[in-house]
Amino acid sequence: MRQLKTSPGRLNIYVHDATVRRQVKAAAAKRDLTVTEYCLRAILHQLVQDGERLSRESPATLEAAIRRARQFQAKTFKGHVFSVNSAELIAEARAERGRAR
């Protein structure tokens, strides 16, 4: 897992079932992890499963990202191909904002 140099953000999780809380604490202890680290690993694993995060362990990471990008492009643009590159579009939008001020 990659360590960030910024201060960590806080995410509160409310678990109303005491049995689930005990199970999480026990599972973390068995693995010599803090509850925070155990939960973070579980969340990251679920994000990979949901396709919201790429797994660094997967050899097909790049291929999967390209496949999802192509699916998004086909769904969003319905096969339309743009001849203008994104840098030109950004420059044009910035110029228009400057004129509007």
CB 31 within 8 A of CB 38: yes
Number of structural domains found in the chain = 2
45: containing domain: 1-53
Most confident region among 5-14, 19-28, 69-78 by mean pLDDT: 19-28
My answer on whether 1 and 47 are in the same domain is yes
User: pLDDT tens, 44-101?
Assistant: 888 888 888 766 655 456 677 777 777 887 888 777 766 667 777 788 888 888 888 7
pTM as predicted: 0.49
My answer on whether 31 and 48 are in the same domain is yes
Task: Give the C-alpha separation, 67 to 57, whole Å.
Answer: 18
My answer on whether 5 and 28 are in the same domain is yes
My answer on whether 47 and 70 are in the same domain is no
My answer on whether 49 and 1 are in the same domain is yes
CB atoms within 10 A of CB 38: 19
